[in-house]
Amino acid sequence: MKPSSIKKNNSFFPYFLLLIQPIFMASNLIVARGAVNFVSPVSLGFWRWTVAFILLIPFFYKPIFQNIKDFKSEFLKLFFLGFTGCCICSVFPYIAGKTTTVLNMSLIYTSSPIFIVLLSAFFYKEKINVLQSLGFLLCFIGVLIVISNGQISALLNLEFVTGDVWMIGAAVSWALYSVYLLNWKSKFDFFTRFALITFCGSLSLFPFYLYEIFFLGIETSLNTMSIFWILFAAVSPGLIAFTLYAKTQRYLGASITGFTLYLFLVYGAFYGIFFFKEKLYMSHYLGAVLVLLGVYFAKKN
């Protein structure tokens, strides 16, 4: 269904999807802060995507096995998507959740479109105009204000919370995932490819999972809380968020669907305040304004 047909029919459903999708997408920040005392970041990421793949494979095993040659030819691309979109974008936020806040994580992650534009310019020679350059500058200043808590001395002495640095890495990795997902053409449909990406994400995490167990001696005990967080991470910010995003993009197009990012910031702030009793400071307000303005300008052609 084309965006234009939606407007003619005045259908509310696609915009309802636009409204609720970030609820599930931002719930990964709840996992990052809430699961740290029950599951290690690597184990959580590995089991999250393993469970997601197990839930998906009964529905998509036929097109996968029928096109096994395509899977073999696209394996390296799928593995890269699994590594950037599932491995790094899971583990880095989970590590970040040990030392930083949901508010900081949501603000920093919102800057990912800046990196998408920069990477598109670097790899695919897309031109950057003056307005986009202004957007980069505003977003960069906004992120610096957030990670320094508005203190110039912290910037001068490079005193940052380590969790904020991990989140910058996650934002860059998500940008890599997004750029290559858009530009790499696949012979699989979206959901079959997503099932394969979850498999590759789990596969890319497996060596780190083994290293964590046998060399670091960190084992995840399967109890009620660890199972809850693994299932929650697999279903809410995993299967539901990705499915709703795909449907929203199908109905409304990529540009309008991009507004989920702004709602992601709102829901992320709500989660931090409501569930973890975090406080908003002036650095958050100022940083949010600059980051959102920067993202808005960066997406303008």
Q: Crossing angle of helices 190-214/241-252, nearest 10°?
A: 150
Q: What does the angle CA 140 – CA 142 – CA 147 come to, to the nearest 5 degrees?
A: 95
Q: Residue 172's CB: how many other CB atoms inside 10 A? A: 21
Torsion of CA 17, 18, 23, 26, to 10 degrees: 140
Residue 130 lies in a domain: no
Which segments within the chain are labelled E, that is strand? none
Residue 221: which domain range? 3-111+163-280
List of residues 6+ apart from 280 with CB closer than 8 A: 103, 269, 273
- For 99, the 3-state DSSP assignment is coil
Quick one: CA dihedral 202, 204, 205, 207, positive or negative? Answer: positive
102 falls within a domain: yes
The angle formed by the CA atoms of residues 86, 88 and 93, to the nearest 5 degrees, is: 100
Q: Is residue 256 part of a domain?
A: yes
Calpha distance 6→9 (Å, rounded): 5
Tens-place pLDDT, residues 279-297 = 888 988 898 899 888 888 8
179-223 pLDDT per residue, tens? 888 788 889 988 999 999 999 999 999 999 999 988 888 877 788
Instruction: Label residue 235 exposed, middle or buried (CB < 10 Å: 0-12, 13-18, 19+).
Output: middle
Mean pLDDT of 82-98: 94
Amino acid at 109: Y
- 241-290: pLDDT as tens digits: 988 888 887 787 766 777 787 888 889 999 999 999 988 889 888 988 99
User: pLDDT tens digits, residue range 182-194?
Assistant: 788 889 988 999 9
Kindly state whether residue 33 falls inside one of the protein's structural domains: yes
Let me know if residue 181 belongs to a domain: yes
Number of domains making up the chain:
1
Both structure tokens of 240: 């539901």
DSSP 132-182: HHHHHHHHHHHHHHHHHTT-HHHHHTT---HHHHHHHHHHHHHHHHHHHHH
Q: What distance in Å separates the CA atoms of residue 56 and residue 291, rounded to the nearest whole number?
A: 35
Tens-digit pLDDT profile for residues 120-143: 888 877 788 888 888 888 888 888
pLDDT of residue 3: 47
Question: Environment class of residue 225 by beta-carbon count within 10 Å: exposed (0-12), middle (13-18) or buried (19+)?
Answer: middle
Mean pLDDT of the chain: 87
Residue 39 CA to residue 230 CA, distance in Å, equals 8
The amino acid sitting at 209 is: Y
Is there a domain that residue 146 lies in? Answer: no
Tell me, yes or no, whether 182 lies in a domain: yes
Greatest distance between any 2 Cα atoms in the chain: 60
Q: Tell me how far the alpha carbon of residue 152 is from its chain's centroid.
A: 29
